Amino acid sequence: MKKLEILDSTLRDGAQSEGISFSVQDKLNILKALDDFGVKYIEAGNPGSNPKDIEFFEKAKNIKLKNATLCAFGSTRRKNIPVDQDQNVLSLLKADTKTVVIFGKNWDLHIREILNASLEENLELVYDTLKFFKDKGKKVIYDAEHFFDGYKANPEYSLKVLEVANKAGADTLCLCDTNGGCFPKEIYEITKEVAKRLPGRKLGIHCHNDIGCAVASSMSAVNAGVTHIQGTFIGVGERCGNADLSVIIPNLQLKKGFHLVEGDITTLSETVIKIYEISNLVMPSNKPYTGSSAFAHKGGMHIDGVNKCAHSFEHIQPEKVGNKRRFLMSEVSGRTTVLAKLSGMFPELTKKSPKTAEIVDHIKRLEHEGYQFESADASFELVVRDILGKSKPHFKLHMYKTGGEFPCPDGERNAHAMIMIEVDGKKETVASMGNGPVNALDLALRKALCVFYPELKKVHLTDYKVRVLAGDQATAAKVRVLIESTDGKDVWTTVGVSTNIIEASWKALVDSIEYILYKKEVK
């Protein structure tokens, strides 16, 4: 297998994404996750730009990496300042990484209008800085900023900058589509020309996603001869983001036979989810390879096809990237869908079983009432167990009461809830304050149940969604509530429907508790 090397810039370019603000601990956690997955280089920030990155590099010195090489990132020296007196350059030395990534200008427009320098002066900035770090024993990756735009404007000069960087000793010359506006064909053709001009040199690619082509352009560059690929693991970055490495890696490793990472690629989904969580971002369900919908099937013909021959509707086996196949329930589902979804839970059910027809009919009635089970697998399983006579409630509700007040005395907890439940003949009555009636009800329910089921202390809600089902009925409309819960290990989703938002929320809350208690009994 031909080897390619990955440079992940989540901690540097990714940190420049709107809505992301990594703490130092966040960056250390992502560093460990990327190292475990086995990327070659991790570009961790610019120690000359902010105190947070300086602190990160100090703490990172105490972490022993198994697979990755940590890189500090910075620019060429500033105009009219000797390289050994430039504070940004010296901060890169202080970061004490074996590899440094230096970016320089390659577009004559930027040199004249942004740097206010001559083209010759820019060549000196590039040469002096790269030579300085090579003389210090560093491995140097040169990021040719705006290379493709520069090449289209003045090809000879852009190539000359690369030649100077090569002469200064750069180990890798990385061509950057910084504006993200080039098409894959342009990337291929220009990269091919660079490879001819500098035969034998290690070339890299760094693409932004402003026209949605970053992944395709990066792969085109590989076809043109680059062996070093830069991006961010989940595609975050400036403006529309960077090339998404979680898509590029399986594309090239599983489909093209390249070797890109030292870790186990079956941990791809786990790593992607972890980085989304640390970044405090919601992972798109339709994300290629790793999204929850990547191997989800809803249409009856699709499900039938997958059951008979999986690759008829799946481009790879989901297990290869640590994902799993899902069959979605809806009003268009038939017996084939139900059986496919239940095969792991109730293998005794067949297409001709009377209970199978009963389950299908009952699900369709509930869907007609406003329920939706394609995103609420836990509630679906509970409904089926009830029909099969295999469910036993873990508690009985005697009453609940909610209320609120405005203005709120403490400014936050503006609602209260009181609840009475019974477990094995023993009653428990509790009250709680919360940020709204649903939150107060949730807290009261868990408080009461923890008396009987202490394991519920680890369970909490991670998402709460409300959808109005019939807008033309205004405030009298039905609402559907989806609740996502976790115990720190597993995640499950439940649903409730009612014209009363509190009642709909209560139904979803009850299902979330019943589901995890049942699962723990089974284990």
Note the helical H segments in 315-353: 335-342
pLDDT (0 to 100) of residue 410: 61
pLDDT (0 to 100) of residue 422: 96
Give pLDDT < 50 ranges for the chain.
none
DSSP string, 354-395: HHHHHHHHHHHHHHHHT---TT-HHHHHHHHHHHTT----S-
Contact between residue 45 and residue 31 where contact means Cβ atoms under 8 Å apart: no
pLDDT (0 to 100) of residue 329: 65
Contact between residue 107 and residue 149 where contact means Cβ atoms under 8 Å apart: yes
Distances (CA, A) of 36 to 63, 136, 259: 12, 29, 16
Task: Provide the edge-to-edge strand list for the sheet that holds 460-468.
Answer: 460-468, 479-486, 491-498
> Which residues 6+ apart lie within 8 Å of 446 measured at CB?
456, 457, 459, 513
pLDDT (0 to 100) of residue 284: 92
**CATH level 3 topology of 401-448:** Double Stranded RNA Binding Domain (3.30.160)
Q: What is the DSSP letter of 78?
A: P
Taking the C-alpha atoms of residue 479 and residue 370, their distance in angstroms, rounded to an integer, is 8
The CATH number given to 5-263 is 3.20.20.70
Beta bridge partners of 461: 485
- The full set of domain ranges for the chain reads 5-263, 344-394+453-523, 401-448
Its pTM stands at 0.77
pLDDT (0 to 100) of residue 333: 57
pLDDT (0 to 100) of residue 460: 87
Contact between residue 393 and residue 410 where contact means Cβ atoms under 8 Å apart: no
Taking the C-alpha atoms of residue 307 and residue 313, their distance in angstroms, rounded to an integer, is 10
**Two domains, one topology: 344-394+453-523 and 401-448:** yes
pLDDT (0 to 100) of residue 277: 85
Distance of CA 338 to the CA centre of its chain: 30
Pairing relationship of beta strands 172-177 and 203-207 according to DSSP bridges:
parallel
CATH class of 344-394+453-523: alpha beta
Contact between residue 40 and residue 9 where contact means Cβ atoms under 8 Å apart: no
pLDDT (0 to 100) of residue 299: 74
Taking the C-alpha atoms of residue 187 and residue 210, their distance in angstroms, rounded to an integer, is 14
